[in-house]
């Protein structure tokens, strides 16, 4: 449908028309690898946040000069794209310790030789340490100090002043995006959801790939256009998809092509990056720090019971029949989460299937067979 087209096109490419228009109007784009980096700070500095993806990458030969072959393929493809000049539109990158492999990728971006290869000497790099213990006063104070350091670095590099007023405006803008996305997620509770899981992933991928003002406009148009629509009329099973750096809707479509509909997710490029709001009633820096530290965390954080409870609650409220998890090969946190999820499945009784995958879409035959068998077992 027409209202979905912009999102589907964005999901296929690294550099889209919205980003190109931003650059042509004199704007600067700053990349980030992990949703632990607050977009609000970048927006308040008049920058366009871009979450690094590599949907058009076909090899990792250049990246393997810098990264071990045991690094996950997401990191290798992203670094390879940088070495090949595919991120030349960026004026900087903010890294974080999302995992050891992402940290190593950020170190590579910060390398002087690498910076010279992808941009000129003004390329901005900063690193934000995110504590692994989320709901702790010491962690919160430390993380807020890290964000203050990032704020000061952005102000100096881009000759801007990030005021409380600008931060509050950025918080309101991004919260609007999250509110609209939650409306979309709620629509998927229906017996016949108006949007498929593959389409929904394209929508959430666009969250980190275009200006929020334009994003909110086309998101509102999409919600209105979905009125009365049924995405997959013949679907007989409802699935919840779990995993990390999955930004290719084809993986979700593979499940739906077998006769299911994906009604919810716990993906790093999906619900986990947009689920909670930033408090608009308190000091903006404190509010941003609290939201990003206590958000729906990834397996790097020391709160597995909170994550498992979130999954159980969504499976229940969205009436999912089972969970399909995608674990990227060589992802250590993802491997630990798979083990915890399988143990929780035995306790909760939620049917669960985990599949290993690479970053780029492939290995379809084996995954398709296992998904078919899993869905048949639910009958």
Q: What average pLDDT does the segment 42-56 reach?
A: 97
Structure-token pair, residue 238: 């409802």
CA distances 88 to 25, 150, 174, Å, are 16, 22, 26
Dihedral sign, CA of 105, 274, 180, 213?
Answer: negative
Whole-number pLDDT of residue 182? 96
| Average pLDDT in the chain | 93
* Residue 134: pLDDT band with limits 50, 70, 90: confident
Residue 136's pLDDT is 83
Q: Is the pLDDT of residue 114 over 70?
A: no
pLDDT-based confidence at residue 109 (cuts at 50, 70, 90) = confident
| Paired strand residues for 31 | 50, 93
Q: How confident is the model at residue 154, as a pLDDT?
A: 97
Question: Over 70: is that where the pLDDT of 113 sits?
Answer: no
Token pair of 378 as six digits? 């639910």
Report the pLDDT averaged over residues 320-331: 95
233-248 mean pLDDT: 94
Task: Provide, rounded to the nearest whole percent, the portion of the chain with pLDDT above 90.
Answer: 76
- Given a cut of 60, is residue 340 above it in pLDDT? yes
Task: Give the residues across from 128 on adjacent strands.
Answer: 96
What pLDDT is recorded for position 115? 60
Kindly report which listed range (64-73, 175-184, 272-281) carries the lowest average pLDDT score.
Answer: 64-73
Residue 61 neighbours by CB distance under 10 Å: 11
Instruction: Work out the percent of the chain whose per-residue pLDDT is above 70.
Output: 97
Report helix angle 100-110 to 73-83, nearest 10: 10
pLDDT for 190: 96
pLDDT of amino acid 333: 86
Question: pLDDT at residue 135 above 80?
Answer: no
Q: Is the pLDDT of residue 120 over 60?
A: no
């Amino acid at each position: 449908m027409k209202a979905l087209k912009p999102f589907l096109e964005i999901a296929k490419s690294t550099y889209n028309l919205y980003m190109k228009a931003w650059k042509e109007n004199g704007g600067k784009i700053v990349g980030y690898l992990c949703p632990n980096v607050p977009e609000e700070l970048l927006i308040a500095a008049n920058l366009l946040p871009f979450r690094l993806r590599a949907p058009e990458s076909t090899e990792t030969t250049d990246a393997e000069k810098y990264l071990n072959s045991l690094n996950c393929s997401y990191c290798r493809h992203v670094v390879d794209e940088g070495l090949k000049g595919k991120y030349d539109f960026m004026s900087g990158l903010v890294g974080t310790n999302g995992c050891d492999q992402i940290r190593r990728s950020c170190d590579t971006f910060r390398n002087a030789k690498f910076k010279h290869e992808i941009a000129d000497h003004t390329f901005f790099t900063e690193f934000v340490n995110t504590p692994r213990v989320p709901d702790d006063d010491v962690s919160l104070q430390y993380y807020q100090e890290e964000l203050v350091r990032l704020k000061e670095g952005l102000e100096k590099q881009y000759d801007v002043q990030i005021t409380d007023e600008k931060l509050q405006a950025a918080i309101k803008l991004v919260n609007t995006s999250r509110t609209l996305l939650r409306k979309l997620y709620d629509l998927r509770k229906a017996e016949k959801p108006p949007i498929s899981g593959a389409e929904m992933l394209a929508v959430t991928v666009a969250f980190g790939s275009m200006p929020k003002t334009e994003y909110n406009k086309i998101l509102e148009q999409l919600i209105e256009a979905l009125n009365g629509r049924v995405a997959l009329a013949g679907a007989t099973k409802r699935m919840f998809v779990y995993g990390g750096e999955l930004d290719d809707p084809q993986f979700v479509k593979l499940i739906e092509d077998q006769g299911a509909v994906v009604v919810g997710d716990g993906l790093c490029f999906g619900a986990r990056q947009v689920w909670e709001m930033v408090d608009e009633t308190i000091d903006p820096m404190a509010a941003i720090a609290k939201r990003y530290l206590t958000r729906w965390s990834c397996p790097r954080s020391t709160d597995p019971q909170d994550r498992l409870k979130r999954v159980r609650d969504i499976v229940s409220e969205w009436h999912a029949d089972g969970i399909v998890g995608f674990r990227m090969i060589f992802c250590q946190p993802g491997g630990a989460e798979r083990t915890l999820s399988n143990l929780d499945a035995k306790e909760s009784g939620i049917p669960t299937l985990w599949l290993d995958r690479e970053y780029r879409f492939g290995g379809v035959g084996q995954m398709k067979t296992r998904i078919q068998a899993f869905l048949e077992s639910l009958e």
